[in-house]
């Protein structure tokens, strides 16, 4: 009989933390054993302090857990971090030093040369960086990171195209949901009936993280992919789901039909395809002229699939397309859970107790 693996959620009261709680509530391999947040929330039952924003009831068992301070050790070998970036750095390091695998959604360690920045379908081999990290830093645990939410959707869709045709340059403009700013996020008076053409630090994150994710793992770490990215990021009055319009130029010219075929044939490596959170397929192509749309297409693959449409020639670069990804599932908690599943499938965390 295999017992479930106890796990902790840091920043469990926030937007991403709540999504972790929801996704882990009935997970086949993991069981929430601890929830932690700031000292303002600690010491009280989770059900009392959380402003639960999910559309399913808060599970009773988790509601009764007492919120802990974000201080190691907490229960289990895996700590999911949904911490605010202002505080995530030293807390995540302390947990890794204490022996935990920290799966982080914060930006703090994403670009560290010994920290993997993972989209399992695209770069599961980068997981090997944690061996170097543990040696260099002398930690029994390790930090693994999820990309920024808009980068996650973009890069999953680009991964098969990059492999087939070699991305050379790309222009991306985003329409990003308000939940991407956490809770309570952007004031309703600022966003309703409006578009805000600035998200602090987001364009830089898209430009550098996409190149690390699609880069090649070598002796010296990850050699970033050699393409140029021009990102324009905008906040729009959508609750969940980031829509992105992309123009892309390739080293080897591609027709729309070739790109459609490559995207439709894209499959995760076997070690990833069988994970409980992995969608099949990871990229859905929808060629109806007015798709994808956040309200209609966001739940594909239980929020883990990216939908790509409007694949057509571009008069400036080679191709144009539109893509949609769920910012708190593929762009945060869902993929965080998938990364933890990869740790288990890779034999780094045991399922037997």
Report how far residue 197's alpha carbon sits from residue 141's, in angstroms, rounded to the nearest whole number: 39
Q: Which is nearer to ligand NAP, 13 or 307 (CB)?
A: 13
Q: Do residues 45 and 116 make contact, with C-beta atoms less than 8 angstroms apart?
A: no
Give DSSP secondary structure letters for 95-148.
HHHTT-EEEE-SSTTTT-TTS-B--HHHHGGGGGHHHHHHHHHT-SSEEEEPPP
3, 40, 128, 226: residue in contact with ligand NAP (rule CB under 6 A)? 40
Residues tagged active-site: 149, 242
Selected from 124, 143, 161, 332, the binder of ligand NAP by CB under 6 A is 332
Q: Please report how close the Cβ of residue 326 comes to ligand NAP at its closest, in angstroms.
A: 9
- Tell me how far, at minimum, the Cβ of 217 lies from ligand NAP, in Å: 23
Q: How far is CA 179 from the centre of its chain?
A: 14
Q: Is residue 180 within the footprint of ligand NAP (CB under 6 A)?
A: yes
DSSP one-letter string for 215-274: SEEETTEEE----EEEEE--EES-SS-EEEEEEEEESS---HHHHHHHHHH----HHHHT
Residue 234 sits in the site that holds ligand NAP (CB under 6 A): no
Among 87, 196, 237, 296, binds ligand NAP (CB under 6 A): 87
Measure CA 172 to chain center.
18
Using CB positions, name the residue nearest to ligand NAP.
14
Using CB under 6 A, which of 93, 179, 233, 278 touches ligand NAP?
179
Give 147 or 249: the residue with its C-beta nearer to ligand NAP.
Answer: 147
* Site residues for ligand NAP per CB under 6 A: 11-17, 37-38, 40-41, 70, 82-85, 87-88, 105-106, 148-149, 179-180, 182-183, 327-328, 331-332
């Amino acid at each position: 009989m295999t017992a479930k693996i106890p796990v902790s959620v840091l920043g469990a009261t926030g937007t991403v933390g709540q999504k972790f709680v929801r996704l882990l509530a009935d997970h086949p391999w993991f069981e929430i054993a601890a929830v932690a947040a700031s000292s303002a929330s600690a010491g009280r039952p989770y059900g009392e302090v959380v402003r639960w924003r999910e559309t399913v009831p808060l599970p009773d068992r988790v509601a009764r857990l007492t919120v802990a301070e974000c201080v190691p050790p907490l229960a289990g070998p895996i700590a999911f971090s949904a911490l605010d970036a202002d505080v995530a750095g030293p807390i995540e390091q302390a947990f890794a030093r204490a022996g935990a695998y920290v799966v982080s959604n914060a930006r703090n360690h994403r670009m560290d040369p010994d920290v993997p920045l993972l989209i399992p379908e695209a770069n599961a081999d980068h997981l090997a960086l944690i061996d170097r990290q543990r040696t260099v830093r002398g930690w029994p645990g390790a930090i693994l990171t999820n990309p920024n939410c808009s980068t996650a959707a973009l890069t999953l869709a680009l991964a098969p195209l990059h492999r087939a045709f070699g991305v050379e340059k790309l222009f991306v403009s985003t329409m990003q949901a308000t939940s991407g700013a956490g809770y309570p996020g952007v004031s309703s008076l600022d966003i309703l009936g409006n578009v805000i053409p600035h998200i602090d630090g987001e364009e830089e994150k898209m430009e550098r993280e996409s190149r690390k994710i699609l880069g090649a793992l070598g002796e010296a770490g990850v050699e970033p992919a050699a393409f140029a990215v021009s990102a324009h990021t905008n906040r729009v009055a959508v609750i969940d789901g980031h829509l992105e319009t992309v123009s892309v130029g390739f080293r080897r010219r591609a027709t729309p039909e070739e790109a459609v075929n490559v995207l439709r044939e894209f499959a995760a490596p076997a070690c990833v395809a069988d994970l409980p959170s992995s969608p099949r397929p990871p990229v859905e192509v929808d060629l109806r002229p007015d798709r994808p749309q956040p309200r209609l297409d966001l739940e594909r693959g239980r929020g883990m699939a990216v939908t790509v449409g409007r694949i057509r020639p571009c008069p400036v670069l080679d191709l144009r397309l539109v893509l949609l990804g769920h910012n708190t599932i593929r762009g945060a908690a869902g993929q965080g859970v998938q990364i933890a599943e990869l740790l288990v499938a890779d034999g780094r965390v045991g399922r037997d107790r």
